[in-house]
Chains A and B, each alone.
Chain A
Amino acid sequence: MGMTLDAPDFHVPTSWEQALAVKAAHPEAVPVAGGTDLMVEVNFDRRRPPALLDLTRVPELAAVDRVDGRVRLGAGVPYARMITELGSELPGLAMAARTVGSPQIRNRGTAGGNLGSASPAGDCHPPLLAAGAEVELASVRGVRRVPVAEFFTGPKRSVLEPDELIAAVHVAPATGPQQFAKIGPRNAMVIAVTAFALALHPEQRRVGTGIGSAAPTPRRATDAEEFLSGELAAAGLWSSRGPLPESLVTEFGNRVRAAASPIDDVRGSADYRRHVLAVLARRTLTWAWDAHRSTEQRTGRTA
């Protein structure tokens, strides 16, 4: 077909510098990475970008580096690589990546795109929250790092400025067990009805959490984190690695549930989301704590 009908401008930078320059010159240009969110919006006619900024030829975005003891995960790294390359350093993120879509989506979809969409249901977000990750944002004006908990400002809204791009996320490698669990009404290829991530940080005597799909933004269950960290410390459990009292697990679940403010929608009711959050919080804590305890036993035996 000859006719193009005011098709959007299409910018194809081949370096990060160029990409930032294009974004500065054309703040209306919408970045496209894997396209697995954006093209759905376009196909459904919910969005008509005046210009597109293709990020797939920017090599810097596809890199995984180690910077200051943290993993720097390029915004263009697809889920498939998170699974194969980062399973031991970022186990929570890798677990979340395994639950994303289908093999096709995991080959195309990226962490940058997940953050860029800023959906409350994005599966990267809970493990990044639990791990205390930072998002690296860049523009020709410079680079800034934002804790992921401060990145989201509302449903599908973030602190990203019109001239900025997401460069990477910085995540400390796991020092303790991490878990991610996601509820969907079918056993694969499903958007989270509710998701929960948990990370134990034994060296900091701290517990990290992330809640997905149960509030206007992904969020931490801060009160539950503090409660659990405090109780574990008070009972000397971090070092004794003794079993968790049932009441502690239950109360943790209740506090995670209380941290949510879900809605009723086609995917599930608010009540259901609250209910399952408590269950997932209890289960993931139990699994993570069991793993924590057996790590100790293993090192104890080999020492």
Chain B
Amino acid sequence: MSTTTTPATTPRPAAGDRTSATTGRIGDSPLRPDGTLKVTGEFAYSSDLWHEDMCWGVTLRSPHPHARIVAIDTTAALARPGVFAVLTAADVPGVNRTGLEHADQPALAEDVVRYQGEPVALVAADHPETARRAAAEIVVEYAVLPALTDPRRALDPDTPLLHPSHPTGNLVREVPVRRGGPVPDAPVVVSVEFEVGMQDQAFLGPESGLAVPDGEGGVDLYVATQWLHTDQQQVQRVLGIGPDAARLHLAGVGGAFGGREDLSMHVHACLLALRTGKPVKMSYSREESFFGHVHRHPAHLRYEFGADDDGTLRYGKAELTFDGGAYASSTGAVVGNGGTLGLGPYRFPVVELVARGVYTNNPPCGAMRGFGCVQAAFAHEYLMDALAERVGADPVELRARNGMREGDPNITGQTIDSAAPVAELIRRVRDMPLPGERGTDLLGLPGGVGNTTHGEGVRRGIGYSVTYKNIGFSEGFDDYSTARVRLSVTAGEPVASVHTAAAEVGQGLVSVQAQIARTELGVSRVVIEPADTAIGSAGSTSASRQTYVTGGAVRAACELVRARVLERAAGTLGVPAASLRLDGDKVVAAGGEVLAGLADVLGDSPVEETTEWRHRPTVEPDPETGQGDAHVQYAFSAHRAVVDVDVELGLVKVIALDTAQDVGKAINPDAVLGQIQGGSVQGMGLALMEEVLVTDGQVRNPSFTDYLIPTVLDTPPMRIEVLENPDPHAPYGVRGVGEPPTISSGPAVAAAIRAAAGKDLRRVPIRPEHIVS
């Protein structure tokens, strides 16, 4: 194992040569190909797409969280000059249903709307403004229905069913986890009811894309997304066109975080393009974006832990209720995580837990970084602190003592069969140097530039958290990726080209793929082909899985290519292939002597291989007990937050947010740090301020004026310790990196605020008024 530590303030010197596009192997941090363009504002995002003679599509959305559509009159809209088409559900040629797990959501509402913002009609026109005005002229007659907005009432017997055909009524999914027999008595019992608000992914590039009809009933869709192939299937189904009649191409993605796993404008633009015969661009405004994608599930968490007098856990009981909103999206899988991982990285002899997700008329909720573990972590970490206090133990040592270790079973009975350094991670963050005394600069004080305190009322608090998360798709899902690798000669030089459908959403997979190809094929020049559906699925850019799964596929394809090239070289050189390697664009002997130029071996005959690669299989947990090997891999992380709280004003300044995380193997150390920094801030944002406020099913803050995310002045320096305990089951030993920091940072911040304010705060985000009330 190796460990990298980054100091809190000085940037870490980059490993490897960053100035050249032809260097950077595994373990280096080469300059990413899209980096400079993004920083200088030249990168083409999906909202920059353009086509000759394209027209513009807009969406008319429901103002009501629940209503019957009595009638839609499009006459006036259609009559407006410049309007090419106005579409409603009646114009959908295929099956008017979309959805990641359950196809329960109409592309355009039929007789009922189930949330505020649900798409009802579409307009295509020669100008976005014409289209917007025409949309405003569509007359929709609604009969408003009572809205189900309290998830705790969703399952009451007298509550009307939002999806009458759903077999379990308003229950989207329930996952019980039972283990170790009846819940025993315990000398020490701690419990909490905790609430987590609705977080938004707040990606910077609003939903947008361009659909270009091919004149033969098919369409090419250029779109910012996380998973081209699941989009493709849904689009084709709604359009009623055959396989591969919709070809999807990844456009520049401005962040995702789960919010682009469901369809947004995809089908709409295609419907309009096929109807008008023209290329159609759709691009949401920031406000529309808040209605255009799913959010993180708000959750109600009821937890109880029983322990011995010394704090050793005897049992964990929990009931987790996730508000899924109007449509299922990935609620089922989120509930799966909330259930199977809901008690955190601790050893519990006895478990009695149930996680459920319900339908309501609130905004649909689905995937977001951390996926079900984020919510649960606030409750289990709250209780670990409560327990430490009750038994008089140090909160770090209590966690270390109860923490999982390699070889332990988790609460679903799955053996953790690679490193589980819970104790080490939490002790490492504790042992990092603490920040100094509070200074006098306003920027370092709660309230910041607002000049609200010069030290009055300010108290410091420290909080800890350690959490874990599954990596990759779980519960028996056939989770694979496809890669095509080709070695050929261009201008006398050997070039590897790598083609996958994996979505680069900002995380840096484009660099990782090139690093793998350079390492496996010993070439300098690597071209990453644009991601599209011309190749098989790479699976979703989610669940922290792409470096693992698409990285695995690229490696596997490289190995096939290498074997063929070495066979060819062996034939010419008259030596066994097993004695040859590829390095420095050459074929070399085991000892390193150059035997032939790779370009000469390739000549005019490129070598190409396409392969599908899957991680080891998982199983669906037992429906009664939740037991089973549901997950592929687990990733662990810990945080220590140091905060200053102005207890009279309720304002918070996070002074330090230090973390330790086991990444298995840092393929690209800088990208790893970037993920950890960004993820930590996103988790901190949920603890402090990020919430979509919904009253009676209406979103009250659909803008960055009132949906606040941390600015750089809210973001403290971070010390990051990266552990590399290789996972023997994963390519290169990697462990997913993107999500864990989002899970452990928020509970540490919340704990630090509780400590500073001396207040029992059981809800996040913690608003200033909660601290002073």
Contact = CB atoms under 8 A, between A and B. Distances in A.
Interface of A: 1, 3, 5, 40, 43-45, 95, 98-99, 102, 179-191, 193, 266-269, 271-272, 275-276, 279-280, 283, 287
B664 interface: no
Contact of A5 (B127, B285, B651, B773): B127
15 contacts: A5-B82, A5-B127, A44-B285, A44-B703, A102-B711, A181-B447, A182-B451, A186-B448, A186-B714, A190-B450, A193-B768, A269-B769, A272-B769, A283-B452, A283-B456
B127 A1 contact: yes
Interface string B677-721: 000000000001100010000001101011010111110000000
B653 A187 contact: yes
B454 A287 contact: yes
A193 to B, nearest CB: 8
Nearest to A185: B689
Given A43-B285, A266-B700, A283-B456, A189 B711 contact: yes
Contacts of A99: 449-451
B131 to A, nearest CB: 11
A293 to B, nearest CB: 15
A206 B769 CA distance: 33
Q: Which 8 A-B residue pairs are closest in the complex by CB-CB distance?
A: A187-B448, A188-B713, A272-B769, A182-B450, A187-B713, A181-B451, A181-B452, A266-B701
Contacts of A185: 651, 688-689, 708, 767-768
A58 B555 CA distance: 63
Contacts of A190: 450, 708
Contacts of A193: 768
Most buried by A among B126, B129, B132: B129
A103 to B, nearest CB: 11
Contact of A186 (B452, B453, B649, B710): B710
Contact of B688 (A45, A186, A276): A186
B714 A183 contact: no
Contact of A283 (B130, B285, B453): B453
A5 B130 contact: yes
Most buried by A among B450, B650, B703, B713: B450
B287 interface: yes
Contacts of B72: none
Interface in B421-467: 443, 446-454, 456-457
Contacts of B768: 183, 185, 193, 268, 272, 276
B648 interface: yes
Nearest to A284: B451
Contacts of A287: 454
B127 A275 contact: no
B706 A268 contact: no
B759 to A, nearest CB: 15
Contacts of B711: 102, 186-189
Contacts of B689: 185-186
B450 A268 contact: no
B619 interface: no
A187 B703 contact: no
Nearest to B713: A188
Contacts of B714: 186-188
A78 B635 CA distance: 50
Nearest to A102: B711
Most buried by A among B448, B456, B773: B448
Contacts of B767: 185, 268
Given A5-B129, A95-B451, A188-B711, A183 B649 contact: yes
B204 interface: no
B705 A279 contact: no
Most buried by A among B449, B653, B712, B714: B449
B15 interface: no
A271 B453 CA distance: 20
Interface string B759-773: 000000001110011
A1 B126 CA distance: 10
A115 to B, nearest CB: 20
B741 to A, nearest CB: 20
Nearest to A95: B451
Contacts of B773: 271-272
A144 B422 CA distance: 71
Given A44-B703, A271-B769, A3 B452 contact: no
Interface in B601-658: 648-651, 653
Contact of A191 (B82, B693, B705): B705
Given A99-B450, A266-B706, 10 more contacts: A1-B127, A5-B82, A5-B130, A95-B451, A181-B450, A186-B689, A186-B713, A187-B449, A187-B450, A279-B649
B304 to A, nearest CB: 31
Contacts of B710: 186
A184 B447 CA distance: 7
Most buried by B among A1, A185, A187: A187
Nearest to A96: B451
Contacts of A44: 285, 287, 703
A272 B772 CA distance: 8
Contacts of A186: 448, 688-689, 708, 710-711, 713-714
A270 to B, nearest CB: 10
Contacts of B453: 283
Contact of B649 (A180, A271, A276): A276
B447 A183 contact: yes
Contacts of B443: 187
A184 B689 CA distance: 11
Contacts of A102: 711
B339 to A, nearest CB: 33
A267 B706 contact: yes
A237 to B, nearest CB: 21
B451 A275 contact: no
B693 A266 contact: yes
B63 to A, nearest CB: 14
Contacts of A269: 769
Contacts of A283: 452-454, 456
Contact of A183 (B452, B688, B713): B452
A183 B450 contact: yes
Contact of B451 (A43, A179, A191, A272): A179
B132 A45 contact: yes
Most buried by B among A95, A182, A186, A280: A186
Nearest to A278: B648
Contacts of A272: 650, 768-769, 772-773
A180 B451 contact: yes
Contacts of B713: 186-189
A98 B708 CA distance: 19
Nearest to A179: B451
A176 B582 CA distance: 77
A180 to B, nearest CB: 6
Most buried by B among A43, A179, A275, A287: A275
A272 B768 CA distance: 8
B127 to A, nearest CB: 5
A188 B693 contact: no
Contact of A187 (B126, B447, B649): B447
Interface string B109-136: 0000000000000000011011010000
A275 B773 CA distance: 9
A185 B457 CA distance: 16
Contacts of A280: 452, 649
Contacts of B446: 187
Nearest to A187: B448
A5 B769 CA distance: 47
Contact of B127 (A3, A40, A98, A268): A3
A186 B706 CA distance: 11
A189 B701 CA distance: 16
Nearest to A280: B452
Given A187-B447, A266-B701, A182 B127 contact: no
B749 to A, nearest CB: 13
Most buried by A among B132, B700, B710, B768: B768
